[in-house]
Structure 1
Amino acid sequence: YPYNYTEATKTVRWPDFAHIPPGAERIIPVYINVDKTEADDLLRLFYAFAVEFYDSIDQYGEVIGVHYRPEHPDTIYYGVDLFFNEGDLTCAEQNPSVGDVINLNAKVRIDGNTTAKNVLVRFFDGEEQIATDQIIIELDPPDSFAIVSVPFEIKSDYHLLYAIVDPDSLFGELDETNNVVKLELMTGKGAPIQQVVNFPNPFKDYTEFTYILGKSMTDVSIKVFTLRGRHVRTFDMCPTELGYNAYGWDGRDNRGDQIANGTYIYKVVATDEDGEKYEVIERLVRMR
């Protein structure tokens, strides 16, 4: 069908159609090419179909009476979300020990109605990357998920492992807050840092970071980051005693400014007398 395109409003209009009998339909294929998203823009295209139905057309081609025009046009969303659920990073081996080489498996999920190509998945042991970037060539929403695996050598009794999908933010996603999954791998001594929470959460003007240490530490620090990884605040010389510990925060960054509303990541890092580091990552929400 012939159409008119208006660049200013990016609107396509089909002014005339052949008569559509009751119960019939017409299908109009529309092809739109999107090279890539920019910065934080979402890969989300809005199609609004405003349809007018007419009773009839007179002998001169003039419309006789508008029968129906929808008050709210239909809108179809096209987008993609790459994400993990809790428990989507696993160890394939049962009861591993220090010195074993195991396989880490990450289940990368996809939602939306857009195909994602060349999806990067990156694995970390703390802040150290494990192996090289893994690539999923193509992932479609009907596939639901893909499994990505890397080998990992266990070098201590405790490892905090995590995987990140789209770590460099190459995709503009419908949800940017669910791209990380973690796994605490424990052998022998178990987890030295437990029950890490901040209360209240969400917080308005003040919150306390709380944690339980399985043994005394020589150093504990708490680091706060944005979801994009920008450093916000570091607290050094936090309590290091065995058992329950707490440290308060008034919501100010390293420059003394109040942080904006939103979701943040914080990391509790503890060092024992042997120089071994342990860490736990959690989230907090500022809402004023």
Structure 2
Amino acid sequence: GDATYDYKNLRGGGNIVPAYEPVISSDIDDMKGARDEFYADMTGDGYADFYIGRIPVRTKEELGNFVDKLISYERKDLSGYWRSRYILVSDDEYNAAGIPSEMSWHLPYVDYIRRNLTLPFIEVREVYEIKYGSPGDIVERGREAKEAFIKTFNQGGLLLTFYGHGNPVQLTHEQMLLLQDLPKLKTSGKPPLTMFFSCKVGAFTRLDPAHGIAEYMAVQDQAIASIASTISQFVSVNDYYGRYIHNLINDRRIHPLGEIAQDGKIYYSLTYYTLFGDPATMFSLPLPDSSLQVQVPDSLEIGNINYAVIEEGTPTTLYHLNILHKPTEITYVNSTVRPSVTYTYLGENSPIFTGSFDIKILPDTLHFFLPVTADTGYGALMGITRKEGNKFLSYEIYPLHFIKGTIGEDKKGPSIKFFIGNIELEDTAEVPLNFNLRVVLEDSSGINLYTVFGTEKGIMLHMDNQFIDLRPYFEYYKNSFTKGEVNYPMEFEFSQDKDISLIAYDNLNNMSVKNLHLVIREREFSVSNILAYPNPVKNENSGVYFTFILSKPSWVEIKVFTIGGRLVWTSGRRYFNQGFGKIYWNLRDNFNDNISNGFYIYKLECKNEEGRKFEIKKGLLIAK
């Protein structure tokens, strides 16, 4: 439950599990705050004697959403290489007065973790404020950094680490992220552990706002849990605490979140950092896959087809193959001040191939095409991951050696097709304000997922005089290295006409361009693709997912009835953004008893923000 300093709950709804605050204060800028260590301190030394966390929910609906998220996370419902991805985020060199005096603070701490505490097989996405806008232009830098943060976050990751200035409603002076931006964060079932090594991002006892950034992300679908401080902290303390946690999880063992948050707090005498989440949730990097044996050639050829042979492993399993390019050093220079400010950091290890393969019989051979623009020499890495039960396993080959290959005769660029759902778009298309643009790309030489030259990327969308990098949104189809698709969310505020262009390169640098004229119009409220899966239910250990697609953000509730009309279970009202949504039912009634076999009726009820309603009834057969 959540807590506020309104101990008598005069304003209602927030003070469910009261917080311990050594000094009571309602000042958001005050140095004092709450610490939950008090509830687990059995010896009186000020430190928790067992693992503790707070799930700061305020309603049954929030708790239901949290539990559903937790179950899906621990069952590893969504596997994929996102479980081997870190998102590293850093503030820039400017302080609150606009003076570039903090180059030695936030970025060097993140870069230390990047260089020394990030294992080679981890794919790294970097959202460093120095990469965006112009030095000293707080508005431009903040706007571009915010856009990058949201796009990177929405692609999913195992872990997000932030170093910088913050408070319950804001990250960085440039406003990289504000509390009101959080509904734009949509992980689609891939929530990371978020860690904010900053000041007061975890202050959870304020009356306004009801939920700060760390709380909100933990309660909603943005994070499986958050670790953040309730008070101001010294930058050195943040640095060492972050190092401790990263070093701990590098053993590639399974750790409860309570251990991850707690052990470093004791080591560095911290009591005001709070875990927002279930301390018993199990977290780990991908576990070593000891059953897998893979052979690759001594040297792989760029600009050519290559292969890896899986000699031993688990057949009838979906394997994910990821090849990461070696990272390079990048030097940032701020020459607007004298003396100039510089810093050299280690860049991203960008994926140059990402695909999935359904292995039926062993041994089996996986084929992939390396881009001709990749660097030769040592330093790249191959990772092969798979799900086994509720574990996510990984096998790595590092370092790979790249050499120049024999360039083929392919002179044509990729074929490009636009879709909304399964409807192909030709030349001109009428579309809603918000939709998913699906682009199918195919080429015998594969699609270039690396840099082509300069700032030119392998897949780009040109719109509003800007080029949008679409490489992170591309996935090859299963068992293919020649064909795949981009899925990119398109969002517009009002009806308009707009021209877009898709530019794609194959791995031999052959280019194709396709144009599309969009007629963007607001559409009526609708709910489609309403399904229950599985249906019928035959496994007694299975649950049911109710899925649907909303044309507009809405409140959704599922009710399940017997054939005689008796209410068996209700999900409670839950808020969903436009697009795909799902609600999980564990096949227990409102009294938490197992339900019996039989035919049931489920009703989906929706109400959007404009008050428009929709409901439908369908059947569900349970035959366990």
Q: Same fold (TM over 0.5)?
A: no
Task: Name the structure with the higher strand share.
Answer: 1
- What TM-score results when the alignment is normalised by the length of structure 2? 0.16
Larger relative contact order, structure 1 or 2 (CA cutoff 8 Å, min sep 6) = 1
Q: Look at both structures and tell me which one has the larger radius of gyration over its CA atoms.
A: 1
